[in-house]
Structure 1
Amino acid sequence: MDQGGADILPEKAPPVAPAPLQPFDTSAPELMLFPYRQWARHHDQTWRRPDAALLSRVDPFGWPPLREAIADHLREWRGLPCTADQIFITSGVVEAIGLIAATTLNEGDDVLTEEPGYAVLNRAVHHNRLVSVPSPVDQQGFDIKTALQTTPRAKAAIVTPSRHYPLGVTMPLSRRLELIEWAVARNAYVIEDDFDSEYRFQGQPLPAMMSLSNQDRVIYVGSFSKVIFSALRLGFVVFPKSMLPKVRSSSPQIDQQASLMLQPVLARFMHSGDFAIHIRRMRRLYAKRQVAALQAIKLHAADLLIVDPVPAGMHLVANLTPDLQSRMSDTEAAKRAKSAGVTVQPLSSFFAGPPMRQGLVMGFAGFSEEQLENGVRVLAAALRA
């Protein structure tokens, strides 16, 4: 302290604002058009006079009205005849894998995962002391017959049958049935991660794989991060009815991470119909943006990138042309793109082992048609430099 009796405190640095999202960031849904006014109204109605049950001990499975709303949504949109008592609210896919591991698997069990695939899933498997075994994905998605050639004693398989991430392929009915038959025969489990399923541009959303199984061998995992916003951090698991006693008995020992503050707000948002309206609106918008991205690539980068339309999702996979691939890897291409001010992910980074393909993963959902075209121009110039 100085003679004047006042401490001299160091000047605080101002907080650093997050960098704005750049085309073609795959984590970006369209946030400007989210119905914030309706969401705020539901939030105000929830917490201005909160339900007394919210202020006491809540069911460890999650807020019951939200579980009912999710069950209604899955029956209507995914053909999944589940009930609210089967649904456990989570903070997302990482917590979901931990919950499933704690209630269905044993330490050291082999778990089949997709190759290429979502690195977060592999990390979640390892974190729960399970052995992740990446298995190749082809143009029809995950193939259990191929996977079993190297890992015949696997106890679970984590798959994205509706839309593989990142390749975007859909698993046909024949492979889905083969996977379920394997799970029944081996007393194993299929963990169905229903990534991007709501945003299907052609026809109705496909029925969930869980709806095909009457043997209680499929566990369904979903999230709201892509259909609302990632900061919500809410997801869910749908357990087969036969597993509920074990999950229920284990739930008091499980550290639930999902925010109770937002669960009743989301329940109101879904029950009101605002959620379904938002999904339909975004589906139409994303279909237009995918077309815009494809046209821009054809116009400005046809000599660099080869990309086909996909019937669903929020991103594209652009393969490098032979000429471009002879000059650089997809990792180098992504570095050049970043230096130029656009964000793409190298397809090779999605492989746990040696990459079998080269390409660029490009999100289009969170950007206007003008931003997408300008982004392709910038990307093309960076790859030609």
Structure 2
Amino acid sequence: MRSDYSWIYPSQTDPAGDRRKPVAYRRLYHGIRTAILGGRLHPGERLPASRDLAKTLGISRNTVVTSFDLLTSEGYLETRVGAGSFVASTLPDRDMAAIHQTNDKDSPINSDARPLRLSQSVQRMLEYQRRFPRFRVARPFNPATPDLDGFPFDLWARLLRRAWRSPDIDLTIPDDPLGFAPLRGEIAKWLRQSRGVNCDADQVMIVSGAQQALDLIARALVDPGDIIATEDPGYEGIRGVLAASGADVQAIPVDDDGLCVDRLSETASPARIVVTTPSRNYPLGTTLSLARRLAMLHWADAHDAWIVEDDYDSEYRYDGPPLSSLQGLDRQNRVIYVGTFSRVMFPGIRLGYLVLPRSLIPAFRGMRGFADGVPAPTAQAALAAFFAEGHFGSHVRKMRLRYADRRVHLQNMVAQQASSRLSIMPSDGGLHFCARLVAGHDDMHLQEKMVEAGLDCRALSSYFHDKSQKNRPNLPQGLVLGFAGWDKNTLTESFGELIAIMDRNS
């Protein structure tokens, strides 16, 4: 037996990461365990008697006994009657050394370590990972930021408290995979009135956002190798979710009349799903024309395909009332309507919805039971009250006026101060607009410089999937300018910084 065990009682902080000094028995426990895992104490090796070890380390015998008991219960030590405590004989030296090396943050990387194996699903998803930097606080001109100062958070807090003060059984034990029934009823009523959607409450499914909605759709309707058609340009978060299903995601060009429906016939086989934003392409803002809406519905019916209508911010149309939905024109039940509250309310609410054709309800209801259940019921109950008491409609009307004012303010600055640099592209709503670069600037280079200056200004060309010279000989160079989340003074100051950056990089 060894004569000196002072090294077994470390003075450093708890390996679990607690920066406070650990209690004495925990220090001894970690010291012995680390020595066993690292191979310094070998299987079958006898430890000193508790009284002798306590004397050597200058600690109480109770501390040693408590540590030994814990190590024995976890299988690191074993006790032999009349002989004392021993390192467990069932722990081979080489296996313990390997465990220690794996968990030692300071050890060099083993050149023979196995490569990390990720699923093909995740690899496909990560190919579409966006490269935009993440700012801790939203910065001008982020295109997806609403005005959080304008949301009635005090009212929202009262509704949350009320929902939880005397909770309904559906809140404490939610058992409907479609979501909280009163909220589904309010959403259906709102969509019928404001968007011309043909639906009842039993067709509405509550989800945690538009991307979860797309994930559920892909799981239910797509097999590996199926084709999904998306808009080009478009939001790459959509492509990433859909690619994870194993589908072949095909980008279909968008022009001034929206998605080019005639190009759907150019895919190797008919697409299983077409994902479209008919009210407003993201980011261009173009609207799918009536002729193309009808053509798309006819195409889907003829090819037994589904249309996913992503209606991400249709509440904010400034040049007239909100457009009617594509789903409202559908007579063959081929359209799945997707909406979210992250822009009209606040991103952290994490609530959205699907409006399903009736034929799909049983499948989605059953599938949801194996996925994630439903989003937080308390927030659903508060949102149902927010609708029922008229707050949702009031908030939309108030913010529509505020955003329209900010939009005009930013457009006027572009026209008055930067007409030789930027040309505003037509758009009738949303939280942003696009402006082409007139003088042939590289928009990706400008984006990099603006990010360095603390402006979250996006390059228009980054939203295009097909950047080849063959198909896109004149890839649009421009900026995507969000205006909704900042008051006019902030927009004025930030736009001045934008112009200065363009001057320095012209």
The TM tier, using the shorter chain, reads over 0.9
What does 1:275-290 correspond to in 2, within 5 Å? 275-290=392-407
What does 1:57-96 correspond to in 2, within 5 Å? 57-96=174-213
Q: CA deviation at 1:264?
A: 0.9
Of stretches 223-232 and 147-156 in structure 1, the one that deviates more from structure 2 is: 147-156
Residues 79 and 211, structure 1, Cα contact 8 Å, conserved in 2? yes
Residue 271 of structure 2 aligns with which residue?
154
> Which residue of 330, 342, 345 corresponds with 2:443?
330
Residues 264 and 271, structure 2, Cα contact 8 Å, conserved in 1? no
**TM-score normalised by structure 2 residue count:** 0.71
Distance 1:107 1:43, change over 3 A: same
Deviations 1:192-246 (A, max 9, x none): 0002100011221111100101101011000001001111111111001122233
Distance 1:2 1:347, change over 3 A: same
Residue 353 of structure 1 aligns with which residue?
466
Alignment partner of 1:362 is 2:461: no
Q: Which runs of 5+ in 2 are unaligned?
A: 1-6, 21-134
Please give the secondary structure, in 1, of the residue aligned with 2:324.
coil
Please give the secondary structure, in 1, of the residue aligned with 2:150.
coil
Please give the secondary structure, in 2, of the residue aligned with 1:208.
coil
Structure 2 distance, partners of 1:180, 1:287, is 32
Residues 227 and 269, structure 2, Cα contact 8 Å, conserved in 1? no
Residues 219 and 240, structure 1, Cα contact 8 Å, conserved in 2? yes
Please give the secondary structure, in 2, of the residue aligned with 1:262.
helix
Residue 266 of structure 1 aligns with which residue?
383
Residues 235 and 463, structure 2, Cα contact 8 Å, conserved in 1? yes
Q: CA deviation at 1:21?
A: 2.3
Structure 1 distance, partners of 2:386, 2:217, is 28
Q: CA deviation at 1:150?
A: 3.3
Residues 164 and 195, structure 1, Cα contact 8 Å, conserved in 2? no
After superposition, the CA RMSD in angstroms is 2.1
Structure 2 distance, partners of 1:49, 1:247, is 30
Residue 320 of structure 2 aligns with which residue?
203
Larger radius of gyration: 2
**Number of aligned residues:** 376
Q: CA deviation at 1:340?
A: 2.6
Structure 1 distance, partners of 2:209, 2:13, is 45
> Which residue of 218, 242, 253 corresponds with 2:359?
242
What does 1:1-385 correspond to in 2, within 5 Å? 10=19, 19-256=136-373, 258-308=375-425, 310-321=427-438, 323=439, 325=440, 328-354=441-467, 356-385=475-504
Q: CA deviation at 1:257?
A: 5.5
Aligned-residue sequence identity (percent) comes to 37
Q: Could you say which structure has the greater relative contact order, defined with CA pairs below 8 angstroms and 6 or more residues apart?
A: 1
**TM-score normalised by structure 1 residue count:** 0.93
Residues 158 and 193, structure 1, Cα contact 8 Å, conserved in 2? yes
Segments of 4+ moved more than 6 angstroms: none
Letter in 2 for 1:37: D
Of stretches 100-109 and 269-278 in structure 1, the one that deviates more from structure 2 is: 100-109
Q: Which runs of 5+ in 1 are unaligned?
A: 12-17
Residues 289 and 369, structure 1, Cα contact 8 Å, conserved in 2? yes
Q: CA deviation at 1:252?
A: 2.3
Deviations 1:69-106 (A, max 9, x none): 11011011101121010011111122111211222232
Distance 1:149 1:309, change over 3 A: closer
Residues 144 and 431, structure 2, Cα contact 8 Å, conserved in 1? no
Distance 1:117 1:70, change over 3 A: same
